[in-house]
Structure 1
């Protein structure tokens, strides 16, 4: 005689919004601080951060996420997880150099561009070509489709609004 299996239905946890933060690898202290504040706001809102996992804006955002008790994913250019900045929770070594930018942007549901040069520009272009929103803070705001914001607080407010209306497709 077979015993009836007891299968309790366990509700799945809600999916968290994944926010990509892209930007300069070497930044001024004021830019670093704004990126840190963006990261902290991402964590406090319950979102996940994905970035390139290295220095500058990436480190600052990861630091903010760490301070806010959140989770950051670093998509690294090299082959060693140890290359990640010290605040990355989940380092992913790709050995893909700048080609990793496509992974960062594809993973994110919305992208925040802070400062940056041509690597950031490539991430913005990839995001826009994929139909993703790009929120700009001191970064390439004259490009069509980059929505310009003045500070971290405005960015976080917009991310929360986006999260409230976003449905994964």
Structure 2
């Protein structure tokens, strides 16, 4: 089974976040992973464009029921009509999660991934979460480059013998 990586991030992002997401998409495609994302603008569009530039497969899980709102770089679009609740579908479909940058929706995806357990969660220049005592929340890997983010996500694939969940 193919390894699926959810890439999450804000629909309105900085140029730096856009560049990081694009590179994450390229790298995931080069490793044969399927990218799962929200299928909209910003980080979602950038990761889709990066993956498709390398012949990758990108699945967009949309919050609405209008295919016209989706990024043109998606391989396939899943229309949910679920609003932000679709974030649960994105995370449930993933063998690993990479969050690029941060928004409230991105934070919800990180939380859902942690709640699910058993999958790597990587934050690329985004949210840094701490507990009530100010200690870093365990189970989130914080990285500074797209290369590090993809390496951390793909480490789960290697630990499963090269197969997805």
Which residue number in structure 1 is paired with residue 134 of structure 2? Answer: none
Which residue number in structure 1 is paired with residue 126 of structure 2? Answer: 139
Which residue number in structure 1 is paired with residue 145 of structure 2? Answer: 151
CA contact (8 A) 1:25 1:116 kept: no
Gaps of 5+ in 1: 1-14
CA contact (8 A) 1:115 1:139 kept: yes
Matched, 1:71 2:57: yes
Q: Which of these residues, 48, 60, 79, is aligned with residue 34 of structure 2?
A: 48
Distance in structure 2 (CA, Å) of the matches to 1:142 and 1:158: 18
- What SS class does the counterpart of residue 159 from structure 1 fall into? helix
- What SS class does the counterpart of residue 7 from structure 2 fall into? strand
Distance in structure 2 (CA, Å) of the matches to 1:123 and 1:30: 21
Report Cα offsets for 1:128-150 as digits up to 9, x if no partner: 00003210001112341221011
Aligned length: 155
Q: CA deviation at 1:99?
A: 0.5
Change in CA separation of 1:159 and 1:133 when aligned onto 2, cut-off 3 Å: closer
- What SS class does the counterpart of residue 147 from structure 1 fall into? strand
Matched, 1:20 2:6: yes
Q: Which of these residues, 69, 75, 78, is aligned with residue 83 of structure 1?
A: 69
Q: Which of these residues, 130, 133, 148, is aligned with residue 116 of structure 2?
A: 130
**Displacement over 4 Å in runs of 4+:** none
- What SS class does the counterpart of residue 148 from structure 1 fall into? strand
Q: TM-score, normalised by structure 2?
A: 0.89
Report Cα offsets for 1:47-89 as digits up to 9, x if no partner: 0000100011100000011101110000001102221111011
Distance in structure 1 (CA, Å) of the matches to 2:129 and 2:111: 13
Distance in structure 2 (CA, Å) of the matches to 1:68 and 1:162: 22
